[in-house]
């Protein structure tokens, strides 16, 4: 039964990762480079929610929603300042810039709140058992939020014009231009949505673990593994990939020393890139 | 006849030198103009510059007298310019219906006028749910064409519309172009298959080495036995 | 004051070696190594362990460290470069670097984990009189830096160097010319790795005590800034860049005295913010760096 408990914990970890994995896959599809600042963006959003919740006394839900929306706006601004001037350069330059941005954001959090761990102010509900598996209400909320986010993304990308535009830009940016899609607008919306997803992810991490400056970056490799496994550019892939990485990572602690948990996402990335670079649901990369 | 699209002194290129070295060209309202020329003459570069995917280094591009130079491609589209690229001309990961929907939503938002795609391309209907990448080459070409026509453009720009198509499909494509033109849409195309294209065209522009070598009525060019001499700039009366 | 300057110069020396190695892999070869700090850690620990546990002398420890890091880099390149995309390679190197760092932290039996390895002997530490030693170490460091610069420059100007740059510019074209792209890239990465190992060894000798916290991601940022400041591909510029970056950043330690109201965590945070902002600013305003890349005229097609 211990295995089932561990697997369940893995599902929860995976579910927490779906939001940032969705953000990663969106950003990669539209902006065409892996953005290493996403971990720190989650951290900043988590601390924003902390400020509202623990310092101003807001209920966590309101704080989280506000922080997520704020993060959406902040991300648009960050893109204008950091990535837009570099838009014409290659992927490597953008990656290095994203790394730098990650440093800055994480240390802004560190500057403001120091290195010691913090927590949100929420009522500690007692854990309960379902079929012999221990769960708690935060985990149920996490499941609910992630599922809702998934569904919202699905609706956005398939039914709404802006979502279609995003997929079009991810598919063929030049063609999108001549089909009337204004790329700056699509980029702003992509960042706004990615920011909201990262904000939500940050709060969920803060609820699951504690708030400390490296909280987002700790998940960076796993989130990328999830997005790559699922197929960069595929939202369904991000969801599935996140759950798989989460479950396998948790289960691996039964056989490996816990500190090596990070090996799992790495091995996953290596395996995917060697055997099936487009991931589970992605499209084979066509060199143009 | 008035000129709907004109290009004056156009210079453009990708790297150090210019590929287009000062092009003057005009498309009359309601006409079909075909630009021919050998490989590397700059035909594709010309089209990309007119459409806005490449910035003009010198010269003017005008649509109905309004200058297009500072407009981004999406703005040129909403001004009435529609474009069918030669390849990668559909969104492969989106369905046929989504391709058409995007074109409708973004190319002519706020403009009146019914879409021409259903009228001219009824054969696409059965494929609506398929990803565009699953279509055959000829079907993708038709889809790309249809997308450009979902709103009624003023000018349709085509980059080698018959490239890679079988003779039968080629005939179909040029028939559709004629039909589109008969509805009042002016057409500018760039073509390798000069003969077929010139048969439906009014005017022919010969491009070579980045410059216009000749402009003449299409049937006059068709009558010439040796197109090579055209490319070298000999013996065709200027319009 | 003098000894401070000497110490700083030694640090600039091995930071420059590290930056030159990164420059070779990235600037010349087009392969970005986000796992730099992990490989650097590997080099430092390899040298230290070879001396402390295997009793090797300085020379063999350094060579050993260089070979080990070269081999690991080559292996990583060989396994992952099936997928040629730069983007993915960068992620993989990030991960490998992390793994190496974790090994240094967790494999206590080998590395003593967080306690670190102490008492690393300096080269010829017993033979040279103590009051001369710093100068000696500076001399050795400068020599190694000069050697690195010489070797990498010779390679850059050789036919292999031209191949490397051809692969960087357009690997599809290079492949059609019949060049074995994968093997060239493996070699590039391995050669760069060797010099990362050298830098790591120099680090161990200098500090004489190493632990995992010395090798955080800030090392990567330093090296990248140096390479970008110097102009990717230009070796001399990289050294200039490394010097400038090092001086700026080590100098900023004095902020602590200037702004007493901030605690040490906050100061550390500010320094990193400066590094990150500097990195982005450099990318935006000075992508060519301060010096130009050496190019044979015949290479321009």
pLDDT in tens, A264-284: 888 888 788 777 878 888 766
- Mean of pLDDT values over C280-292: 65
Neighbours of B81 (CB within 10 A): 27
At B106 the pLDDT is 86
Dist CA A17 CA A1 (whole Å)? 24
Dist CA B54 CA C17 (whole Å)? 42
Q: Binning pLDDT at 50, 70 and 90, where does residue B228 land?
A: low
Q: For chain B, what percent of residues have pLDDT higher than 90?
A: 33
* 8 A C-beta contact, residue A217 and residue A63: no
Phi-psi region of B38 (alpha: psi -120 to 50; beta: other; left: phi over 0): beta
At B225 the pLDDT is 65
At C81 the pLDDT is 72
Interchain contact, C277 vs A36, CB within 8 Å: no
Top-confidence residue, C114 or B179? B179
Q: Which of B83, B91, B101 sits opposite A172 (nearest CB)?
A: B91
Top-confidence residue, C252 or C133? C133
Dist CA C211 CA A116 (whole Å)? 22
Top-confidence residue, A244 or C295? A244
At A193 the pLDDT is 96
Dist CA C198 CA C13 (whole Å)? 11
* Residue to substitute from A47, A87, A96, interface C, most C β-carbons within 10 A: A96
Angle at C218 between CA C217 and CA C219, to 5 degrees: 85
Phi-psi region of C54 (alpha: psi -120 to 50; beta: other; left: phi over 0): alpha
Q: Does any CB of chain A come closer than 8 Å to the CB of residue B91?
A: yes
Dist CA B108 CA B79 (whole Å)? 9
Q: Which two tokens stand for residue B95?
A: 């369905």
Per the listing, tokens 């992990």 go with: C38
Phi-psi region of C112 (alpha: psi -120 to 50; beta: other; left: phi over 0): left
At C230 the pLDDT is 67
**Alpha-carbon gap: A97 to the closest alpha carbon of chain B (Å):** 26
At C163 the pLDDT is 80
At C234 the pLDDT is 59
**Does C185 score more than 50 pLDDT?**
yes
pTM for the whole structure: 0.84
pLDDT, averaged across chain C: 77
Residues forming a β-bridge with B206: B36, B214
**Does B218 score more than 70 pLDDT?**
yes
- Mean of pLDDT values over B54-74: 91
State the chains in contact with A (3 or more Cβ–Cβ pairs under 8 Å): B, C
Q: Does any CB of chain B come closer than 8 Å to the CB of residue A284?
A: no
* 8 A C-beta contact, residue C5 and residue C243: no
Per the listing, tokens 């590997």 go with: C42
- Mean of pLDDT values over C74-85: 76
Residues forming a β-bridge with C117: C210
* 8 A C-beta contact, residue C77 and residue C190: yes
Give whole-number Cα distances, C171 to B125, C34, C168, C180, in Å. Answer: 42, 21, 6, 10
Residues forming a β-bridge with B131: B95
At A101 the pLDDT is 94
Contacts of C265 in chain A (CB under 8 A): 110-111, 114-115
State the chains in contact with B (3 or more Cβ–Cβ pairs under 8 Å): A
Q: Binning pLDDT at 50, 70 and 90, where does residue C300 land?
A: very low
User: What residues of chain A have any CB closer than 8 angstroms to a CB in chain C?
Assistant: 33-34, 36, 82, 85-86, 89-93, 95-97, 99-104, 106-108, 110-111, 114-115, 221, 224, 228, 257, 259-260, 262-263, 265-266, 269-270, 273-274, 277, 285, 287
**Does C59 score more than 80 pLDDT?**
yes
At C292 the pLDDT is 40
Q: Binning pLDDT at 50, 70 and 90, where does residue B234 land?
A: very low
> In terms of Cα–Cα distance, which of C167, C149, C155 is closest to C77?
C167
Q: Which of A24-28, A113-117, C162-166 has the lowest mean pLDDT?
A: C162-166
pLDDT digits (tens, 9 = 90+) for A172-227: 999 999 999 999 999 999 999 999 999 999 999 998 888 999 899 889 889 999 99
User: What residues of chain C have any CB closer than 8 angstroms to a CB in chain A?
Assistant: 26, 32, 34, 79-80, 82-83, 85-88, 90-92, 94-96, 98-99, 102, 105-106, 172, 217, 220-221, 224, 228, 263, 265-266, 268-270, 272-273, 275-280, 283-284, 287
At B239 the pLDDT is 35
> Strands across the sheet with B211-217, in order?
B81-84, B155-159, B186-191, B32-36, B203-208, B211-217
**Alpha-carbon gap: A158 to the closest alpha carbon of chain C (Å):** 27
Q: Which residues contact B195 (CB under 8 A, 6 or more apart)?
A: B222
Interchain contact, B101 vs A164, CB within 8 Å: yes
How far is it between the farthest Cα atoms of chain A?
A: 58
**Does A244 score more than 60 pLDDT?**
yes
Dist CA B212 CA B231 (whole Å)? 9
What are φ and ψ of residue C281, in 5° steps?
-60, -45
> In terms of Cα–Cα distance, which of C24, C179, C85 is closest to A32?
C85
Q: Which of A213-222, A246-255, C14-23, C260-269 has the lowest mean pLDDT?
A: C260-269
Number of H helices, E strands in chain B: 9, 10
């Amino acid at each position: 039964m211990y295995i089932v408990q561990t697997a369940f914990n893995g599902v929860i970890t995976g579910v927490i990762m779906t939001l940032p994995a969705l953000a990663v896959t969106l950003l990669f599809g539209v902006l065409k480079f892996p953005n290493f600042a996403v971990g720190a963006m989650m951290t900043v959003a988590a601390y924003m929610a902390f400020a509202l919740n623990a310092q101003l006394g807001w209920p966590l839900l309101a704080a989280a929603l506000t922080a997520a929306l704020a993060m959406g706006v902040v991300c648009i601004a960050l893109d204008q300042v950091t990535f837009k001037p570099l838009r014409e350069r290659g992927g490597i330059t953008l990656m290095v810039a994203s790394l730098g941005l990650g440093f800055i954001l994480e240390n802004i959090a560190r500057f403001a709140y120091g290195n010691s761990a913090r927590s949100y102010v929420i009522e500690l509900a007692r854990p309960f058992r379902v079929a012999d598996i221990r769960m708690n209400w935060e985990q149920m909320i996490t499941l609910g939020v992630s599922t809702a986010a998934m569904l919202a993304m699905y609706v956005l990308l398939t039914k709404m014009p802006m979502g279609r535009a995003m997929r079009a830009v991810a598919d063929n940016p030049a063609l999108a231009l001549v089909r009337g899609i204004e790329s700056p607008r699509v980029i702003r919306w992509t960042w706004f949505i990615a920011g909201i997803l990262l904000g939500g992810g940050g709060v969920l991490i803060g609820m699951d673990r504690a708030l400390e400056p490296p909280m987002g970056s700790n998940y960076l490799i796993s989130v990328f593994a999830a997005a790559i496994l699922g197929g960069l550019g595929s939202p369904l892939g991000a969801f599935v990939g996140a759950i798989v990485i989460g479950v396998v990572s948790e289960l691996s602690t039964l056989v490996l020393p816990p500190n090596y948990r990070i090996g799992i996402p790495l091995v996953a990335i290596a395996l995917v890139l060697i055997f099936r670079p487009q991931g589970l649901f992605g499209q084979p990369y066509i060199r143009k | 006849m008035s000129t709907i699209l004109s290009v004056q002194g156009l210079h453009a290129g990708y790297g150090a030198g210019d590929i287009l070295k000062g092009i003057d060209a005009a498309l009359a309202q309601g006409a079909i103009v075909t630009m021919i020329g050998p490989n590397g003459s700059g035909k594709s570069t010309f089209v990309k510059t007119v459409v806005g995917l490449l910035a003009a280094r010198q010269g003017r591009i005008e649509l109905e007298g309004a200058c297009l130079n500072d407009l981004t491609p999406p703005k040129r589209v909403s001004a009435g310019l529609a474009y069918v690229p030669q390849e990668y001309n559909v969104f492969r990961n989106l369905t046929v219906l989504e391709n058409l929907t995007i074109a409708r939503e973004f190319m002519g938002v706020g403009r009146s006028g019914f879409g021409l795609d259903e009228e001219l391309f009824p054969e696409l209907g059965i494929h609506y749910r398929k990803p565009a990448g699953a279509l055959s080459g000829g079907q993708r070409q038709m889809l790309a064409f249809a997308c450009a026509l979902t709103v009624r453009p003023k000018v349709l720009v085509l980059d080698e519309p018959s490239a890679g198509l079988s003779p039968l499909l080629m005939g179909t494509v040029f028939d559709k172009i004629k039909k589109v033109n008969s509805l009042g849409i002016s057409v500018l195309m760039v073509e390798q298959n000069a003969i077929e294209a010139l048969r439906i065209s009014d005017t022919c522009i010969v491009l070579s080495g980045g410059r216009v070598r000749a402009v003449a009525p299409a049937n006059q060019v068709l009558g010439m036995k040796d197109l090579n001499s055209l490319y070298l700039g000999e013996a065709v009366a200027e319009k | 004051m003098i000894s401070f300057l000497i110490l700083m110069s030694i640090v600039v020396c091995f930071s420059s070696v590290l930056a030159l190695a990164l420059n070779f892999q990235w600037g010349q070869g087009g392969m970005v190594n986000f796992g730099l700090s992990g490989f650097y850690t590997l080099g430092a620990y390899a040298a230290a362990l070879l001396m402390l546990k295997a009793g090797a002398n300085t020379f063999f420890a350094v060579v050993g460290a260089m070979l080990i890091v070269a081999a690991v880099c080559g292996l990583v390149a060989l396994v992952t470069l099936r997928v040629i995309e730069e983007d993915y390679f960068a992620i993989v190197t990030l991960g490998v670097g992390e793994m190496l760092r974790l090994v240094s932290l967790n494999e206590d039996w080998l590395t003593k984990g967080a306690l670190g390895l102490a008492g690393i002997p300096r080269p010829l530490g017993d033979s040279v009189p103590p009051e001369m030693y710093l100068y000696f170490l500076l001399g050795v460091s400068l020599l190694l830096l000069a050697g690195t610069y010489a070797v990498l420059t010779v390679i850059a100007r050789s036919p292999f160097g031209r191949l490397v740059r051809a692969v960087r510019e357009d690997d599809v074209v290079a492949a059609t010319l019949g060049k074995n792209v994968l093997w060239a890239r493996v070699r590039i990465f391995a050669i760069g790795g060797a010099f990362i190992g050298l830098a790591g060894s120099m680090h161990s000798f200098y500090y004489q005590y190493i632990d995992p916290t010395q090798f955080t991601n800030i090392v990567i940022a330093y090296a990248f800034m140096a390479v970008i400041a110097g102009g990717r591909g230009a070796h001399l510029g990289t050294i200039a860049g490394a010097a400038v970056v090092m001086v700026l950043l080590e100098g900023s330690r004095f902020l602590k005295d200037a702004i007493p109201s901030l605690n040490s965590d906050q100061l550390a945070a500010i320094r990193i913010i400066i590094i990150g902002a500097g990195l982005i600013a450099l990318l935006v305003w000075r992508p060519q760096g301060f010096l130009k890349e050496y190019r044979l005229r015949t290479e321009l097609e």
